[in-house]
Structure 1
Amino acid sequence: MFVNSGKELINICKEKKITIWQYTLQSESKDSGLNEKDVFERMRNSFKVMEASAEEALHKEVKSYSGLIGGNAFKLNKYVQNKKTLTGEFMVKAMARALSCSEVNAAMGRIVAAPTAGSCGIVPATIISAGEKLNLSEDDMVKGLLTATGIGMIIAKNATVSGAEGGCQAECGSAAAMASAAVVEMMGGCVSQALDAAAIVIKNILGLVCDPVAGLVEIPCAKRNASGTVSALTTADMVLSGVHSYIPFDDVVSAMYEVGKSLPCSLRETALGGVAATPTGAALQKQVFGE
């Protein structure tokens, strides 16, 4: 059985002298009855799906079935080739990958919900981009995915990863927290630092509403995936510089859950509030579904 809190995770990893990814692998092996090698290969298969969805829309315009989004990953990838970006090739390419996953999802392509379909671009874009920048192997990136999984499991146990229950803070917030913790371990950071990164990311997105236009996880969800990726990557650097989260991970997860429960129904994936309820949002809903 997986630990119930970040504090427990820190203690058990310290006691066993292991990382989050190792603990996650061992726990899944025990729970599933599979040996650790098989669990790792299953995670590799998920990673390959993520890799494909993060790449597909970079080289061709992928349009959603609704017609609401599409082609933005292609635009960003083309833009970065001009080498005149403000934030540099690394960050723009990471954003493009996040958008690619979201566009593939909206076009009914194959993605991995990480932890949800609406937030499917953050973990892949973050881990793949960091792995590429750091010249890491595929195995190293799969290990990062296991780290992300461990963080996601604790969030799901103590709060929620559902936009319908906790707003977009629970979807894109959780995904970005998972991704940032993964990068910290990929860069050699300790368990406490990984949890600090997850905590900081969630604090910075606390209260974000879930307001999908026409009830589809396209607008504003896709661009929030790009934003979550940037947050995950920059926060990893922040923590590895020595910055700590004054509020512990477990307290932040608890706060996120309380905030999510406090959000009105209109701001939790019902498409009745936020940008979905604006005149333009209403017009786009009519465009998709008619009167």
Structure 2
Amino acid sequence: MLKYQSIEELVKAAEAANVTISALVLADQAKEMECTEQEIYERMERSFDVMVKSVQTGNDEKLRSMSGLTGGEGYRMFRYASEGGGLSGGFLTRAMARALAVSNCNASMGRIVASPTAGSCGILPGCLVSLYEDKGIAKKDLVMSMFTAGAFGMVIAQRASIAGAQGGCQAECGSAAGMAAAAMVEVMGGSPAQSADALAIAIASQLGLVCDPVAGLVEIPCIKRNASGVMIAVSSADMVLAGIPAYIPADECIMAMKSVGDQLPASLKETAGGGLAATPTGKKLKERVFGSEKQ
């Protein structure tokens, strides 16, 4: 159980101790769970290793989802990246590819890390595994940053929601992008306050994002939203590292997200009753998977 009830508390506690948020959280978790810090760290390292593996598993041209609706998106993006990187450049294109691949792994019932949910599972690894494999960032630093991401995610879960069924996709991909942005800022030497600002900007950038899974499956448009979430996470981190403030504090952004989520109709909260799920093509895809309701 996280003892901090707000992002502000986390930031102030880290600043007072003159440590990173991840170091603060690791020490608190070890004390709470009556384990050594090394034991807690090794558990998180195993989660990072699963992320790396899920990228590899999902990067399969022939891998298809259980429904047959999706598959190969990660492979195609990796291939596109190898041909020059496209408009986004090599690093960002490969980061998107990793996010898509992990989402493909999830849709095919592979092993993933819910970070914070299965539907948003590609965003954090898309960012962190890319820093590891493409930028040569030390594994230990990336594993440590996951404690920051996790702590921020727990605050969001306590004060708002991380579930699409409760708050829309802003609660899933929005939270995941914020967690990833905060983690990346810490990895790149940013302060605890800057990590909080990165979270705030990422959440603000996806405020109001609805949850409208076609056929009720976490595939369309969920998989592509993971790639978009990576782009938002990276841009949020870069803005903060460039010295651009969030202006609206992270805790207030979280509460705004909760307020917006509470106002969303049930049709836009994972029920497949609205949005893209209710389009003519969305309905046809549902029939393709489950058959016609008249049958």
* Pair in the same fold by TM > 0.5: yes
Cα distance per residue 1:267-291 (max 9 Å; x no partner):
0000000000111111101111112
2:22 maps to amino acid: W
Deviations 1:206-225 (A, max 9, x none): 00000000111100000000
Q: Give the 3-state SS of the residue equivalent to 1:95 in structure 2.
A: helix
Q: Which moved more, 1:156-165 or 1:142-151?
A: 142-151
Give the match's secondary structure for 2:172: helix
2:101 is aligned to: 100
Partner of residue 116, structure 2: 115
Q: How many aligned residue pairs are there?
A: 291
Aligned-pair CA distance for 1:71? 0.7
Overall identity of the aligned pairs, in %: 50
Runs of 4+ in 1 over 6 A off after TM superposition: none
1:120-165 superposed Cα distances (whole Å, 9 cap, x missing partner): 0001111111233432121111012111111101111111000000
Which amino acid in 1 is paired with 2:258?
Answer: Y
State the match for 2:280 in structure 1.
279
Instruction: Please tell me the root mean square deviation across aligned C-alpha atoms, in Å.
Output: 1.1
What is the CA deviation profile of residues 218-252 of structure 1, one whole-angstrom value per residue up to 9, with x for unaligned ones?
00000000000111011111100100011000000
Match of 1:163 in 2: 164
What SS does structure 2 have at the residue aligned with 1:86?
helix
Q: Distance in 2 between matches of 1:175 and 1:137?
A: 22
The answer to whether 1:176 aligns with 2:215 is no
Distance 1:105 1:88, change over 3 A: same
Gaps of 5+ in 1: none
Amino acid at match of 1:23: L
Distance in 1 separating the partners of 2:43 and 2:273: 39
Pairing of 1:33-182 with structure 2 (within 5 A): 33-83=34-84, 85-182=86-183
**Structure 2 stretches of 5 or more lacking a match?**
none
Residue 173 of structure 1 aligns to a residue whose secondary structure is helix
The answer as to whether partners of 1:99 and 1:225 remain within 8 angstroms in 2 is yes
The 10-residue stretch of structure 1 (245-254 or 2-11) with the greater mean CA deviation from structure 2 = 2-11
Q: How does 1:187-198 map to 2 (within 5 A)?
A: 187-198=188-199
CA contact (8 A) 2:61 2:71 kept: no
Q: Take 1:257 and 1:84, find their aligned partners in 2: how far apart are those partners? A: 37
Please name the residue that 1:18 is paired with: 19
State the distance in 2 between where 1:164 and 1:282 align.
20
- Offset at 1:61? 3.1
